[in-house]
Structure 1
Amino acid sequence: MGLFMDVHTVEGGVSRDDVAAAHEKDLATQGAHGVSYLRYWVDEQAGKVFCLVEAPSAEAANTVHREAHGLVADEIYPVSEHS
């Protein structure tokens, strides 16, 4: 299982409420793909959304977004956690 950070850019900005609703749809969809969306961060004015996800692949993570709400990531990076 890999750990990934994905980045979405929404032209014109994005609201926390809209991102929260999309995240709930991800959570409802993720199990079928062996994916676990863990956390997300939002910059409303810049229209940036960052999602931390455990997934077998970047493609599996993006499949969840595509099926849940259609808002696939613009970029996705493999990451490792260090405190």
Structure 2
Amino acid sequence: MSIRLGNSCMNCENLVEGNTCKVHGVKVGNSYTCDSFEMKAALKSEQNCVSCVRFETSDCANPQKAAPGMSCNHWAPQAAMA
């Protein structure tokens, strides 16, 4: 038996309103998992100076304060994917 904490129904695309599995048609909870698991797509929150296109450039709004791990209102992604 394998342990799959990240594969719970709460992280699955097949979970619909009312905590119901659209594949199996049953109500599920946090500890449920199955082999039909499909991970939900999610945005990653990695907005800090290191991932900013302006870091260590003349366009940086706060060059004296900018450092790895810090974030600001002028953050812009280095690469955008759709």
Q: Quick check: TM above 0.5?
A: no
Question: Shorter-normalised TM-score: what interval?
Answer: under 0.3
More RCO (CA 8 Å, sep 6+): 1
The structure in which a higher percent of residues are helix is 1
TM-score calculated relative to the size of structure 2: 0.24
The structure in which a higher percent of residues are strand is 1
TM-score calculated relative to the size of structure 1: 0.24
